[in-house]
Amino acid sequence: MTATERPLSRGVVTRYAIGSLGTGGFATLPGLVLVFYMTDTLGVTALFAGLVVTAAKVWDVVIDPWIGEHSDRALARTGTRRTWMRVGAVALPVGFVLTFAVPAGLAPAASGVWVFLAFLATATAFSLFQVPYIALPAELTSDYDARTRLLSWRVVVLSLAILLFGAGGPILRRTGGDDEAIGYLVMAVVAGLVIGAGMLVAVTTAPRGLPGVQAPRRGIRAAYAEGFAALRRSPAFRALLATFVLQGLATGVMLAGANYVAVWVLRSEDALTLLFVALIAPAVLCAPLWSRISRGIGKERAFQWASLLFAVASLSMVGMIWAPGAWVYLPVALAGAAYAGMQTLPMAMLPDVISHDARVHGEGRAGSFGGIWTAGETAGMALGATVLTIVLALTGYLESTGSTVVEQPPAAVAGIAVSFSALPALLVFLSLVPLARYGLRRQDIQADAAATAAAPAAAAGGAPTASGSAATAPAVGGPSKHDPTNDSQETM
C-alpha cells in the first residue's frame, strides 16, 4: 500500500497534532507579547515596534516559496522532508531566547535592532519547519474525511497551545518581579524548549523511504516561479489562500491587541488569561464538532458558517468602548468556537487542493503549495500586528519604559477596543467573498483519490490511464514510500 492508500494510524494523527504545540506557540507568543515588550519594556515607539515585527515577517514571506520548492526537491532526492524540519526545530528555541535577551542599558533604537535580528533568525528557523509540515497532510492520506480528522486533532492541540502560551506566557513573564527583562527571558527559555520539543515530535510523521530521483538544482528565481505557477493554475488555491490571509490578518490584529485590551480596556492583567481561557476552551471542544459538521454539509459550507459566527461575535465586542466588563467573555467564547472551524476546515481543504492539482497537472508539488500558503499566512499575521501599531500611533498611544506608569488617552483606549472587535469582523466578512469562489467539492476529491489509487496498478501493468498513456506521475508530493513505523491500522 502506498502512503496515500494507507489508513491514518492513531500514532500518526497524534504525533502530527503535537507539532502544533510548536507552531501554535510560535504563532501565539510573539504576536501576543513582542510588540508590547518593545513598547512597554524597551521604550521602542509603537510604529517602530510594528515595523520591526513586520520586517522580520516579510523576510519569511520572501523565503517561504524557496523553502517549499527545495523541500519538494529534497523529498525527490532523499525520500523525506525530515531534514529541514529537524533543523528548524533545533534552531528555533535558540533564536527565540535571543529575541528576549536584549542587554540591559541599550538605547530603544538599538534594542529594536537587536530584536529585529534575533526575531529574523527565529522566523527563518520556523519556516524551515512549517513549510514542509503544512505539506505533509496531502502525502499522509488521500481520503477527504480523513484529512479533516487529521487536521481537526491538530487544531485541538493548536488551541491548547494557544491557551498554554497565551495564558502561561504572561504568568512566566511575571516571575521576574519588578525586573521585567528577567521575566521575559524566563518566559522565552521555557517557551522555546516546549516549542522545539513539539516540533521534533512532528518531524517523525514525515514519510521516510529510499532516495528517489536526483532532482535538478534550481535557483531562487525558479523556486519562486514554481510556487507562483501553482497559484496561477489553481483557482481553488487562490480562493482559499485569499480567504485564509484575510482571516489571518483579522486574528493577527486581535492577538496583538489582546494584551492591550486586558491592561487598558478591562483594566486587569489577569483579564488576559481569562480572555484566552474564554477563547480556547470552546475551540478545543468544537474542533471535532466542525469535522462532523463538514462530513454532513461539506468543508466549504462549514467554513462559511464558522466565519460568519466569528465575524458576528467579534462585532458584538465593540460595546467595550462604552461598557467594558465581564460580559465580553461570552462573545469571546463564541469567537473561540468559530475559530476552531476557521483553522480546521481551510487546513483540511489545502491538501484537497494539492491532490486535485497533482491529478490534473500530473505531478505533486506539495512543498511549493505549502511555501506559498505559509507565506500568505505569515503575511496576514504580521500585517495584523502592523495594523494594530498604526491604530495605536494614530490614536495617540503613549509608550513607556520598564515599570514606568502612564495613563492612555481615551482615543487610544477606543482604538484598542475597535482593533479587537469591529476591525477583525470587517476583515472576516470580506474573506467570504473569495471563499464563495472555491469550487472543489467532495466528489472532486473522491475522484482524485480514486485516480491516485488506480495509477500504481495501471503503471505496473502498463495499462493506459484516462489520458491514454501509461501512468508515470509520482504520488502527491513525491515518492510513495512510507515510514514502516506508521503501519498501525488503529484510528483515532
Count CA within 13 A, CB hemisphere, residue 236: 18
Grid cell, residue 304, equals 462559511
Question: Reduced to 3 states, what is the DSSP secondary structure of residue 464?
Answer: strand
Question: Reduced to 3 states, what is the DSSP secondary structure of residue 428?
Answer: helix
Structure pTM? Answer: 0.71
Question: Reduced to 3 states, what is the DSSP secondary structure of residue 294?
Answer: helix
Question: Contact, 473 vs 448, CB < 8 A?
Answer: no
**398: left (phi > 0), else alpha (psi -120 to 50), else beta?**
beta
Number of H helices, E strands in the chain: 15, 0
DSSP conformational letter for 81: S
Count CB neighbours of 175 within 10 A.
Answer: 14
Residues 6+ positions from 416 with CB-CB distance below 8 Å = 257, 260, 261, 264, 265, 391, 392, 395
Question: Contact, 482 vs 7, CB < 8 A?
Answer: no
* Whole-number Å distance between alpha carbons of 380 and 221: 23
Question: Reduced to 3 states, what is the DSSP secondary structure of residue 3?
Answer: coil
* Whole-number Å distance between alpha carbons of 87 and 96: 14
DSSP conformational letter for 489: -
Grid cell, residue 308, equals 460568519
* Whole-number Å distance between alpha carbons of 341 and 283: 8
| Residue 299 Cα distances to 296, 302, 324, 376, angstroms | 9, 5, 36, 21
Residues 6+ positions from 67 with CB-CB distance below 8 Å = 84, 127, 128, 131, 132, 367, 371
Render each residue's pLDDT in the chain as its tens digit; 492 residues.
334 445 678 889 999 999 999 888 887 788 778 888 898 888 888 888 878 877 877 787 788 888 887 788 888 788 788 888 999 999 999 999 999 999 988 888 899 899 999 999 998 999 899 889 988 888 888 888 888 888 888 888 888 888 888 778 888 888 877 788 899 999 999 999 999 999 999 999 988 765 554 455 555 666 667 777 777 888 999 999 999 999 999 988 988 888 889 989 998 877 877 887 888 888 888 888 998 899 889 999 999 999 999 999 999 999 999 999 999 999 999 999 999 899 889 988 988 888 888 777 766 577 778 788 877 877 787 788 788 888 988 998 877 665 566 788 999 999 999 999 999 999 999 999 999 999 888 887 777 667 666 655 554 454 444 333 333 334 444 444 444 334 433 344
Grid cell, residue 27, equals 504563532
> How far, in whole angstroms, is CA 284 from its chain's centroid?
16
* Whole-number Å distance between alpha carbons of 271 and 329: 10
Interhelix angle 329-361/299-316, rounded to 10 degrees, is 150
* Whole-number Å distance between alpha carbons of 168 and 186: 12
Count CB neighbours of 301 within 10 A.
Answer: 15
